[in-house]
Amino acid sequence: MPAFDLSAVLLYVLGVLIIVVGIALSIGLHELGHLIPAKRFGVRVSQYMIGFGPTIFSRQRGETQYGFKAIPLGGYIAMAGMYPPKHVGEKARDASTGFMQTLVQDAPPPTILAGGMVEQAPNAVNHFGVIVDEPQRSFYNLPIWKRIVIMMGGPTVNLLIGIVLYAVVLCGFGAPQVSTTVGSVSQCVISASETRTECASGDPLAPAAEAGVRPGDRIVSMNGTTITSWDQATALIRKSPGDTISLVVERAGTNVALTVTPLLTERYVVDSKSGEVQKNPDGTSKTQDVGFLGIGAATEVVQQPITAVLPAVGDNIVRVAGIIVNLPQRLVAVANAAFGSGVRDPNGPVSVVGVGRLAGEIASINTVPVADRASALIGLVASLNIALFVFNLIPLLPLDGGHVAGALWEGLRRRLAKLFKRPDPGPVDIGKLLPLTLTVVVILGGMSLLLVYADIVNPITIQ
């Protein structure tokens, strides 16, 4: 039975706490991205809350109540008149931003319809404490562009957080990349088509080991050509089977001249973009005969230029969008892993529980330098913010993208009416999409529960 490691447990808990705080701050700043433009444009905001469930602390500042709720995994602001009146002469209906508040609405009567939408009673104050007799301060009465600015404020803040944190990781800590240093030296030559990994007595000695190449040697030049990347060295080796190569390596600060002759051997054909082994038409792995020395590259952490930040963020956005587009298929795989013998995809979707477990594992790996662990945790929070940005752009209620889509549709209707000299059609009542909203809420809630369960019984791990 392994010994109990208290320090590892404490580090695990610390990692979880760091990610919880990171999520809470990200959500709080997201809602601040809604709050600031809403107040700037004169909308009456009655509540700014971090979390959902019972209120554990709040303070009234002016017309807005600021506070924290028991579960810090959501947030919302409550704005007056987020939905227009159903009929002319009626009062506007109010709601809140924030997906989790849509799922768990702790409001007393008047009657809750769904998603924070409220059927107003004939009084002057609604369940959020918003005075409803000020239509000029209602969200739905704002110009289209102001409503879009308010609803895009939250996702934009998440994008900016992601960019800043990526800059910290890439430019401050650095990113691992393949170097020109030899990380490993094979002792023998084994064909790629063979399943064994250990050398047998009849296997030929690997050319690099025979020539005296050692792990830690940095390749300086080959045949007089200066080597600046591992790919450059690999390309020269692969095309030179049977040819003698003059190799210069730096070892302990001194250049050492060696002579190596790559052997002709069978290697898998790997896709340069995906890194996956290419397949033949019959489904078998594709191989080719190339020159082989038997050396592997070492990785090193290198600080990146600021120009590397936006491409990295863009790649993350594309990956998250790909997960969302293929979500039904990926959730089937998650269900198979949760309830059957399937294996979790390490690049698949995870819940906040899974993210917390990953953070705990990262923090508790004592064999990894503290700086690398800190970089990984910051990168995890950065990725979460990018995920929040992309997820909230989905043009479905109750997400921010749904409100933006409603505003754009209203603007298009009014512009067409003006173009064809028709009466102003008035505001679009996106509240009519209530059945769709309820469907989205139920689906997203179900997916969240499935991911939480999978992250408990069959989690994604890094060890």
CB 43 within 8 A of CB 137: yes
Which helix (H) or strand (E) is 152 found in, with range? helix 144-167
Amino acid present at 415: R
Centre a 10 Å sphere on the Cβ of residue 20 and count the other Cβ atoms it contains. Answer: 16
Two structure tokens written together for 451? 């991911």
291 strand-pairing partners:
264
**Angle CA(101)–CA(104)–CA(105) in degrees, nearest 5?**
75
Residues constituting the chain: 463
Q: Omega of the bond prior to 398 within 30 degrees of 0, cis?
A: yes
Going by their DSSP bridges, the two strands 254-260 and 93-96 should be labelled as: unpaired
- Strands of 122-278 (E only): list them: 175-185, 218-222, 225-226, 245-251, 254-260, 263-268
Centre a 10 Å sphere on the Cβ of residue 357 and count the other Cβ atoms it contains. Answer: 22
CA dihedral 132, 136, 138, 144 (to 10 degrees): 160
Q: Omega of the bond prior to 110 within 30 degrees of 0, cis?
A: yes
Two structure tokens written together for 96? 């809140």
Query: SS3 for 326?
Result: coil
Cα 258 to Cα 246: distance, rounded to the nearest angstrom: 6
Say whether 276 is catalytic: no
Q: How many CA atoms lie within 13 A of 58 on its CB side?
A: 19
Residue 414 CB contacts under 8 Å (≥ 6 apart), including other chains: 424, 425
Amino acid present at 387: A
Instruction: Spot the catalytic one: 31, 90, 250, 361.
Output: 31
Cα 73 to Cα 373: distance, rounded to the nearest angstrom: 23
**Angle CA(146)–CA(147)–CA(149) in degrees, nearest 5?**
65
Enzyme catalytic residues:
31
